[in-house]
Structure 1
Amino acid sequence: MLMLCLDICLANGAEIYAPSTFVVNVTGSIIGLTWFPTRFLANFRRLRRARRFSEFVSVYVNHHYQALHIASDGGRICGPMSIVKNEKSRVTSDHVIMLKTGEYVFDDFLSMGLVEYLDANEENDALMALYESNIVPGTTHLEIEIEPLTILGVVAGLIPYPHHNQSPRNTYQCAMHIWVNRQLGLSHITSSIPMVKTETIELIGWDKFPAGQNATVAASLDRAYGRCQVLRKFSTIIRKYPNGTFDRLADALVDEHGNAEGLAGLVEQVYPGDIYINKQTPKNAADNSLTGQGAAPYKTTHLTYKFPIPGYIDKMMITGAWDALLIKALIRRTYTGRRVFAVSLSTKKTYPSTIGELLQLNTWFDSACTVLILWPDTIMNPHGFPSRMMVRKMIEFLAGKAGVLSGKLQYGTAFAGSKVEDMSRILIIIENDFSYSGKPGKDMLANGLTGEPLEA
């Protein structure tokens, strides 16, 4: 090691700024120079595996800044990796058996050079494989994951199929899991084993905590909110003009539909062409001559509802000073399109997810149900899937429903778990008796109030 590193105090300017020089840093302090970073790394890791210094000391190269960093400070998260030799993992099945029988402990694997700890920086600088079958012949793989699910932490490991999720969604769900940890025993009094669990859930015994319940979810455009609801703001000013004239709000009128026009009231429904602010402006508002002074006839400058879908007055605000009034209207437009349902059973809900509408007991029979008499607990807006890229949730729904109908718990472990093809095959076989239009696997839903079939 000393032969590959020159003391920084003994180096001159030409050596320090040479194009092939790499600066050696130990916990942020420059100690020397090296011209052989690859050999330095190989010898350093060889000594670490021989336990010549702590297994938690990491080393990595930053080629952009031509620096070699050795980190020994505390607070770094280090994970164990299996060492690769001759394109094979050094940890064999015999070692695992001896570990289970108690002949070996994990520290023995470290002293035998079978596994080593890497921090986040060294992982970025190492060539790793998820499985031994992923090792490409001729490449210089250094490590292999002991188990791919250990890439994630304990909290992230609770999420089914996290590798099919947009990364910020996993971050949000981790925050929700942490919130639930603080509320255990307070917000939930019953416990459900999740229909779609992960190996992490079993390892930490999370399925034995009262942390949530399974829920039947229907993806529907008929009763959901969220993307189906659009809020639009409109405003106008009632002002006084230099010639002494001023705008005014006309008296309320009644149109042919019997709806009151003028300054619409809260929660009032407006249709296309309805007037919700009946404003009038004097015709000589822009006339500042002597002949333009005084009162004049008014013309209508009202605000009308111009959208094809009916809306509701959500808010109406009036504010301003002595010479002008500002009127703002907030109109809510709700899309009520064709009913499209997709009923699935989701896993344990350990966080307050964004759902459309929570159905109470007295409204269950007004919602859709399957021929198996499954009423949805929640109705979710299907627009939430593409906008948030939640493929994970769709796979979880599929696995949950297959698990319910087959009577088996399914797994959504990261980088593994139950496959979509297998879950689809289960649904096609089990639901074949309930299919319609000659399409196996299609669920048959019925309106709980009228009994009419619904497209699903």
Structure 2
Amino acid sequence: PGFIVRTIQKLRRQGHIGSEVSLIQDIRNREFKIFTDAGRICRPLFVVDNDPASPRRGELVLQKHHIVRLEDDRELDDESQRYGWAGLMSDGVVEYIDAEEEETVMIVMTPEDLETSRQYHAGYEIQQEVDPAQRVKASVSKFAHTWTHCEIHPSMILGICASIIPFPDHNQSPRNTYQSAMGKQAMGVFLTNYRERMDTMANILYYPQKPLGTTRSMEFLKFRELPAGQNAIVAIMCYSGYNQEDSVIMNQGSIDRGLFRSLFYRTYMDQEKRVGMDVLE
């Protein structure tokens, strides 16, 4: 069974099998599952070389010559000659893993953690740096011998909604969960061509604003160019008892000047039928 799994994984990494096909080896139930159905959420990870015959076993498949080729892409005008993401996929450097396959792999957080783990298992004594300004991160497990994949960046664990929460490390964890569910309900400009579309219902905010506190992920998601919501000036205080719990007292002047003003689009349908000479609406 292990040979079959390794062979099909190799075929997927070489591009002979679709990159979004998931391969799950369920050792407990003695099953090998191959999923190709729609709707599986996949995400990319760096591949760690685990070939027993490879001299680079335990290291990332990604090497310096891959980085050089990616940097050379900037000077190429012809897109067909660029190495790019497709080149990383065809060389087996990056692999798409879905949620179910993710349960059968071992993912290390950073390449530095992978190197630390290799040194530990090689018998080296790891000296812990005492630097108050260093990044806080989880310690590498001493019991994990085989890493199969590595995160491209720790922030890629988060989805779209979670990655646009500013300062999530200063929140209670349930608040981040709630915002991940409610952030997608925020009103903004969801598309620039909303006037040409025939949506059943659509809401557009008149004056969307970029958040004062932004995240790096917002840059890649273009959330700064098409934001949702406005920066309201609020006072958190007791006032007359009408703002208890989650109720708010709003300023009428702000509403009159256009705060939270929105457009609502709706598509209506009507039919006209003809029965003989009579027109029925």
**Same structural fold, with TM-score higher than 0.5 when normalized by the shorter chain:** yes
1:115 corresponds, among 88, 94, 98, to: 94
Equivalent of 1:197 in 196, 204, 214: 214
After superposition, the Cα gap between the structure-2 partners of 1:162 and 1:149, relative to the gap in structure 1 and judged at 3 Å, is same
Q: Secondary structure at the match of 2:103?
A: helix
Aligned with 1:131 (options 110, 117, 129): 110
Equivalent residue letter for 2:59 = K
Per the alignment, do residues 40 and 166 of structure 1 end up closer, same or farther by CA in structure 2, a change over 3 Å counting?
Answer: farther
**CA apart distance, 1:93:** 5.3
Structure 1 residues 88 and 226: CA distance shift in structure 2, 3 A: farther
- Cα 1:187–1:101 change in 2 (3 A) is same
Task: Tell me, in whole angstroms, the C-alpha distance in 1 between the residues paired with 2:182 and 2:240.
Answer: 23
Shift of 1:359: 5.4
Matched, 1:206 2:223: yes
In the aligned structure 2, how far is the partner of 1:357 from the partner of 1:50? 58
Once residues 119 and 173 of structure 1 are traced to their aligned partners in structure 2, the CA distance between those partners, rounded to angstroms, is 24
| Cα drift, residue 140 of structure 1 | 1.0
Residues 1:175 and 1:181: Cα distance change in structure 2 (over 3 Å): farther
In 1: Cα distance, 2:179 partner to 2:24 partner: 32
Q: CA deviation at 1:55?
A: 1.9
Deviations 1:248-294 (A, max 9, x none): xxxxxxxxxxxxxxxxxxxxxxxxxxxxxxxxxxxxxxxxxxxxxxx
- Ranges in structure 1 where 5+ consecutive residues have no aligned partner: 1-35, 230-353, 363-456
Amino acid at match of 2:83: Y
Match of 1:160 in 2: 166
Select which of 251, 272, 277 maps to 1:360. Answer: 251
SS in 1 for 2:147: coil
Partner-residue secondary structure (3-state), 1:107:
helix
Q: Judging changes above 3 Å, is the alpha-carbon distance between structure 1 residues 101 and 223 closer, same or farther for their aligned structure 2 residues?
A: farther
- Three-state SS of the structure 2 residue aligned to 1:61 is strand
The alpha-carbon distance between structure 1 residues 161 and 88, as it changes in their structure 2 partners (threshold 3 A), is farther
Report if aligned partners of 1:224, 1:357 keep a CA contact under 8 Å in 2.
no
User: How far apart, in 1, do the equivalents of 2:240 and 2:5 lie?
Assistant: 57
**With structure 2 as the length reference, what TM-score do the two structures score?**
0.58
Q: Name the SS for the 1:109 alignment partner.
A: helix
The alignment partner of 1:81 has SS state of: strand
3-state secondary structure, aligned to 2:15: coil
Q: Which amino acid aligns with 2:92?
A: G
SS in 2 for 1:43: helix
% same residue? 29
- 1:47-446 map, 5 Å: 47-85=11-49, 86-92=57-63, 94-102=65-73, 103-135=82-114, 136-137=117-118, 138=121, 139-162=145-168, 169-181=175-187, 188-209=205-226, 211-216=228-233, 219-220=236-237, 222-223=238-239, 354=246, 357-358=248-249, 360=251
Name the CA shift for 1:97/1:154 in 2 (closer, same or farther; >3 Å): farther
Verify the 8 A CA contact 2:187 2:229 in the aligned structure 1: no
Q: Distance in 1 between matches of 2:172 and 2:25?
A: 30
Instruction: Give 1:171 shift.
Output: 4.5
Deviations 1:398-431 (A, max 9, x none): xxxxxxxxxxxxxxxxxxxxxxxxxxxxxxxxxx
SS at match of 1:206: coil
Q: CA 1:129–1:51 in structure 2 vs 1: closer, same or farther (change >3 Å)?
A: same
Task: Tell which structure's C-alpha radius of gyration is larger.
Answer: 1
Separation in structure 2 between the aligned mates of residue 174 and residue 183 of structure 1, nearest angstrom: 19
In 1, Cα distance between equivalents of 2:64 and 2:235: 45
| 8 Å CA contact retained: 2:189, 2:208 | no
Deviation of residue 113 (structure 1)? Answer: 1.6
Distance 1:176 1:101 in 2: 42
Shift of 1:123: 1.0
Shift of 1:358: 4.0
Work out the CA distance in 1 between the residues paired with 2:33 and 2:242: 49
Q: Provide TM-score, normalisation by structure 1.
A: 0.38
Count of paired positions: 200
Would the aligned equivalents of 2:48 and 2:59 in 1 still touch at CA under 8 Å?
yes
